[in-house]
Amino acid sequence: MAEDKGNKPPSSHPVRLRTRRPCPVCKQPSTQKYHPFCSARCADVDLHRWLGGQYAVPAVDAPDFDEAAPGSGDGQGRSGDED
């Protein structure tokens, strides 16, 4: 009893252009109507994953913009004396 481990076929299959991707949620064949998902349910599941923050979204550090920008003096220099 000798296992010939060196006779294993490669795990990577040649990807055909016309191949359909499986549903990323349940790995079932996706349908064209709910592409790339197999059903509306799976599309909804994926959406909720996004909303739930389960997916790692690369956070981009927003540059610190000056909120109190000098120059826009609001309140001063107002000569509105009507009332």
Residues that bind Zn ion (CB under 5 A): 23, 25-26, 28, 38, 42
Looking at residue 26, its amino acid is C
Find, among 18, 20, 42, 40, the residue nearest to 29 by Cα: 20
For Zn ion, the closer of residues 43 and 70 by Cβ is: 43
For Zn ion, the closer of residues 28 and 54 by Cβ is: 28
- Shortest approach of Zn ion to residue 48 CB, angstroms? 13
- Shortest approach of Zn ion to residue 46 CB, angstroms? 9
Backbone angles phi, psi at 48, to 5 degrees: -70, -30
For Zn ion, the closer of residues 12 and 24 by Cβ is: 24
